[in-house]
Amino acid sequence: MNRVAVVTGGSRGIGRAVALRLAADGQAVVIAYAHASDAAEAVVAEIEGKGGQAVAVRADVADEAAVATLFDTAEQRFGGVDVVVHAAGVMVLAPVAELDLDALDRMHRTNVRGTFVVGREAARRVRRGGAIVNFSTSVTRLSLPTYAGYAASKAAVEAISPILAKELRGRDVTVNAVAPGPTATDLFLDGKDEATVERMAKMNPMERLGTPEDIAEVVSSLAGPARWVNGQTIYVNGGAA
């Protein structure tokens, strides 16, 4: 029986790389996207072009009805759900004194409520031997100025994940969070000048930005063979302190 993965935020950036990697690992992939339908369908076409199975579904991760439909689609098309990778997220950067509270609410809705909504559905439906992988950020440790709102929303993910892991006792389902460091995606690069990007690339001893594929490699392990890693936050940042 082939494994089936649901990947939120799977149309772009790290989510796209994760969807492609899991498909290469032999999993059927359900790609959830918020707005970028063309990008999501392009990922589906790339997976199918390589002999894999995929479908794209529009879903607001904070909307419980939409997320239920997302999981329904996975079960109807591919027979069930084994892996859930919740990579969808919103990032707005500003100092605490200047952060627009509407932007804070938007981050909270997607990053915190979305993790609860997706996690709740995953807890109900993921089959034995499955895995749930949420996304945090290394900024929860790096404490970079302007990242307070975003880091706070992702710190909630780090609190939720190990508790859900314990709540799934006896199910043989792992729950972990992945916390990338600075990674070369549109979300990260947007609005940053070359000097800022270079400075952040030098924060780790590897002296480069991460790539989406670096992150997808770790997710691939957590979604498959790494059965003894559970309730953890894995910092994937090249050694940035």
Q: What are phi and psi of 233, to 5 degrees?
A: -110, 120
Confirm whether 235 is domain-assigned.
Answer: no
- The predicted model scores a pTM of 0.95
Q: Look up the domain containing 146 and give its range.
A: 4-229
**What token pair was written down for 50?**
């390589």
Confirm whether 239 is domain-assigned.
Answer: no
Work out the pLDDT band at 141, boundaries 50, 70, 90. Answer: very high
Nearest to 173 by CA among 133, 109, 126: 126
When the pLDDT of each residue in the chain is averaged and rounded to a whole number, the result is 95
Instruction: Check residue 170 and give left, alpha or beta (phi > 0: left; psi -120 to 50: alpha).
Output: left
Confirm whether 29 is domain-assigned.
Answer: yes
What's the total number of domains in the chain? 1
Residues designated catalytic: 150
pLDDT digits (tens, 9 = 90+) for 12-63: 999 999 999 999 999 999 999 998 899 999 999 999 999 999 999 999 999 9
- Residue 158 CA, distance from chain mean position: 13
pLDDT digits (tens, 9 = 90+) for 119-132: 999 999 999 999 99
Confirm whether 237 is domain-assigned.
Answer: no
Confirm whether 11 is domain-assigned.
Answer: yes
Nearest to 32 by CA among 3, 74, 76, 2: 74
**What token pair was written down for 160?**
């939720």
Q: What CATH number has the domain bearing residue 201?
A: 3.40.50.720
Confirm whether 238 is domain-assigned.
Answer: no
Confirm whether 240 is domain-assigned.
Answer: no
Confirm whether 148 is domain-assigned.
Answer: yes
Question: Which residues, 6 or more positions from 83, have their beta carbon under 8 angstroms from its beta carbon?
Answer: 3, 4, 5, 6, 22, 27, 126, 130, 131, 132, 133, 223, 224
Q: Are 220 and 193 in contact (CB under 8 A)?
A: no
Q: Which amino acid is at 187?
A: L
Question: Which residues, 6 or more positions from 234, have their beta carbon under 8 angstroms from its beta carbon?
Answer: 176, 177, 178, 179, 218, 222
Q: Are 137 and 110 in contact (CB under 8 A)?
A: no
